[in-house]
């Protein structure tokens, strides 16, 4: 997959074949505009005049414009860089590979003593209640990226690249059916979507509670997805389940967490 994805992605985005495939798989776009994931642009104010504009794109994508009125210009970013915005804010560029090799997240951080929350733009790695596909990396690589994001402040606002919140939390409820956090977040997301509002941003603290992909150390999550694996016929799933059951008997904690994450991804792919 890691070898084929760049080739397929290039064909899809930079070749007439990709345009034909897009039109073939989306025939409705010939007669109607794509339905945006929310009715209109929304904005979240971070503080000191800095605001995040949520821009709906196509059916389920979000783009974000971080507006710094004191500067009013764009910035080029590379992983590991820290960018100064208006006095009082910086942006840390965090490498979070797996969905793609060069994937980064942007963490906007207020200065010490400022009560404004930080904000992280997670693209296709961390969603509200879910995670992206492992196109160019393993579950172990994704686990490292998710751990980096989960270590951010609990009140950090999370702005993901897609509106998959309801679907993700429905899956989460299938893994943790008695989780009050998942039930509450799902109800809130459904209410927001019912009136055309985005179900984002969420927060790192909320994700650590209701996102099962961030709970690979939770034994309830582990046992639930291992039980799902036992009902499948895939040899790959059976192998992962064996690792997930084997901590202390040939598998390290990290290997077990990665196996559980891979099982969760497989279960989500099969979820309807």
Phi and psi at 231, nearest 5°, equal: -95, 0
Q: Which tokens go with 192?
A: 């927001």
Q: Quick: pLDDT tens for 121-140.
A: 999 999 999 999 998 999 99
Q: In this predicted structure, what is the pLDDT of residue 55?
A: 82
Helices (H) and strands (E) in the chain, counts: 9, 11
What gap in Å lies between CA 52 and CA 66, rounded to an integer? 5
Q: In this predicted structure, what is the pLDDT of residue 88?
A: 75
Query: Residues spanned by CATH 3.60.15.10 within the chain?
Result: 42-213
Half-sphere exposure of 157 (CA within 13 A, CB side): 20
What gap in Å lies between CA 244 and CA 253, rounded to an integer? 9
Q: In this predicted structure, what is the pLDDT of residue 128?
A: 98
CATH superfamily of 42-213: Ribonuclease Z/Hydroxyacylglutathione hydrolase-like (3.60.15.10)
Ramachandran region, residue 129 (left: φ > 0; alpha: ψ -120 to 50; beta: rest): left
Q: In this predicted structure, what is the pLDDT of residue 106?
A: 94
Q: In this predicted structure, what is the pLDDT of residue 93?
A: 92
Residues in the chain predicted with pLDDT less than 50, given as ranges, are 33
Q: Which tokens go with 118?
A: 């930080």
Nearest to 185 by CA among 145, 212, 150: 212
What gap in Å lies between CA 13 and CA 127, rounded to an integer? 23
Q: Which tokens go with 74?
A: 């764009």
pTM given for the model = 0.82
């Amino acid at each position: 997959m890691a070898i084929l994805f760049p080739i397929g992605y290039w064909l899809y985005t930079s070749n007439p074949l990709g345009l034909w495939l897009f039109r073939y798989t989306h025939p409705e776009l010939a007669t109607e505009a794509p339905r945006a994931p929310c009715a209109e642009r929304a904005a979240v104010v971070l503080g000191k005049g800095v605001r995040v504009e949520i821009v709906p794109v196509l059916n389920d994508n979000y783009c974000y414009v971080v507006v710094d009125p004191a500067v009013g210009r764009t910035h080029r970013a590379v992983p590991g860089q820290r960018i100064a915005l208006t006095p009082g804010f910086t942006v840390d560029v965090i490498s979070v590979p797996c969905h793609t090799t060069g994937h980064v997240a942007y963490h906007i951080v207020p200065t010490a003593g400022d009560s404004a929350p930080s904000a992280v733009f997670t693209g296709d790695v961390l969603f509200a209640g879910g995670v992206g596909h492992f196109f160019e990396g393993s579950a172990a690589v994704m686990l490292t990226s998710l751990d980096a994001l989960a270590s951010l402040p609990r009140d950090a606002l999370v702005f993901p690249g897609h509106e998959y919140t309801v679907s993700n939390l429905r899956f989460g409820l299938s893994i943790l059916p008695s989780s009050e956090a998942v039930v509450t977040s799902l109800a809130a997301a459904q209410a927001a979507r019912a009136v055309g509002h985005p179900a984002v941003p969420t927060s790192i603290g909320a994700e650590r509670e209701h996102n099962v992909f961030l709970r690979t150390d939770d034994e309830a999550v582990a046992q639930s997805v291992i039980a799902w694996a036992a009902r499948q016929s895939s040899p790959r799933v059976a192998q992962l389940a064996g690792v997930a059951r084997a901590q202390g008997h040939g598998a390290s904690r990290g290997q077990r967490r990665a196996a559980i994450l891979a099982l969760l991804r497989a279960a989500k792919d099969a979820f309807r």
